[in-house]
Structure 1
């Protein structure tokens, strides 16, 4: 049986940064790279394709840094208030 891939739906996923990164909050994953036991995601700002960088896919799971999907500021604020 083939080994199950970590983060199988990574490419094409959309993310909202909890704080702005290089001036932007909304990103999507355009590429992935496996290096040993690490999985990396190349993310691109939704409104500026020149803003792109690599992060570990595990960082995207950190709810203090990232939220799945594209969220408005109001949605992020209500999410933060519910978590407290």
Structure 2
């Protein structure tokens, strides 16, 4: 039986940080690494390819830290307001 891969669509995905991270908000996953039960993603800033760091992929599930895709601040604020309504 084939073992199911955790975070199968991680590589190449784009993310927007809710807080400025290393001076930027927009990042793309360029590499992944499995270490035991953990999956790590290597992030690169979309506007500065020299800004790179590794992050535990589990953090992408926390919408207060990361939003999927590249979004403007207005789009993120609008999404937060929609979530507050419910």
CA distance in 2: counterparts of 1:52 and 1:83, whole angstroms: 31
Q: Secondary structure at the match of 1:77?
A: helix
Q: What stretches of structure 1 move > 6 A for 4+ residues in a row?
A: none
Q: Number of residues paired by the alignment?
A: 84
Give the TM-score of the pair, scaled to structure 1. Answer: 0.97
CA distance in 1: counterparts of 2:59 and 2:16, whole angstroms: 12
CA shift at 1:81, angstroms?
A: 1.2
Aligned to 2:66: 66
Give the TM-score of the pair, scaled to structure 2. Answer: 0.95
1:11 paired with 2:7, answer no
Map 1:1-84 to 2 at 5 A: 1-84=1-84
Unaligned ranges ≥5, structure 1? none
